């Protein structure tokens, strides 16, 4: 599976660590930056990641900033993106099972790396339930 990953400076360390673990697990990871711990603006990496998911260049994405909120807000401006912010394993599971989130947003400054990794693994391993949830997510895009 090909996964896009991005972060701002606040998520830089977690992004690199997460990408390394996922590569070891056999995932094909495309890194959209940022490429240093220098302060930068999260939309500059969130928009390219969103575009890659929308166009099918990557199957899904993972985005990190301090709270995860700026990433989620930016990503969800894209009609084809359902970015879910998860801060524990239960939210990681439900944003996939019920919302079929195609991007996972993580709050790098608010959770331990081990928690971010556990959330990511649950999110990747959980199937979308479909049914009534499909009807609901189909109503999300603006007409
Ligand atoms: C950066 O200081 C911080 O504002 C950013 O990482 C993020 O939390 C914004 O949503």
- Average the pLDDT over 89-99 and give the result: 98
Task: Provide the mean pLDDT of the chain.
Answer: 98
Is the CB–ligand 1 distance for residue 7 below 6 Å?
Answer: no
Task: Cite the annotated binding site for D-ribulose 5-phosphate by residue number.
Answer: 8-9, 66-70, 99, 109, 132, 136
Cα 7 to ligand 1 centroid, rounded to whole Å: 10
Q: Which residues are bridge partners to 41 per DSSP?
A: none
CA atoms of 130 and 1, how far apart (whole Å): 21
Q: Give the pLDDT confidence score for residue 95 in this predicted structure.
A: 98
- Percent above pLDDT 90 for the chain: 99
pLDDT tens digits, residue range 16-49? 999 999 999 999 999 999 999 999 999 999 999 9
Residue 60's pLDDT band (cuts 50, 70, 90): very high
Contact 66, 109 (CB under 8 A): yes
Q: Give the pLDDT confidence score for residue 109 in this predicted structure.
A: 98
CA atoms of 81 and 143, how far apart (whole Å): 15
For the beta sheet containing 103-107, the strands, ordered from the edge strand earlier in sequence to the opposite edge, are: 28-31, 2-7, 60-65, 103-107, 83-85
Q: Which two tokens stand for residue 13?
A: 């360390």
28: enclosing H helix or E strand: strand 28-31
Three-state DSSP class for 59?
coil
pLDDT tens digits, residue range 110-120? 999 999 999 99
Q: Give the pLDDT confidence score for residue 143 in this predicted structure.
A: 84
- Average the pLDDT over 66-83 and give the result: 98
Q: Give the pLDDT confidence score for residue 49 in this predicted structure.
A: 99
Q: Give the pLDDT confidence score for residue 73 in this predicted structure.
A: 98
């Amino acid at each position: 599976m090909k996964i896009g990953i991005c972060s701002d400076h606040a998520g830089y360390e977690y992004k690199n660590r997460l990408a390394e673990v996922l590569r070891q697990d056999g995932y094909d990871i495309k890194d959209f930056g940022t490429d240093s711990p220098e302060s930068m603006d999260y939309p500059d990496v969130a928009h390219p990641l969103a575009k890659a998911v929308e166009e099918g260049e990557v199957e899904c994405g993972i985005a990190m900033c301090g709270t995860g909120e700026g990433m989620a807000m930016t990503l969800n401006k894209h009609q084809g993106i359902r970015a879910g912010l998860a801060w524990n394993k239960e939210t990681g599971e439900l944003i996939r099972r019920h919302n079929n989130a195609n991007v996972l947003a993580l709050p790098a400054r608010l959770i331990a790396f081990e928690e971010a990794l556990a959330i990511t693994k649950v999110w990747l391993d959980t199937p979308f339930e479909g049914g009534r949830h499909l009807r609901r997510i189909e109503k999300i895009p603006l007409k």
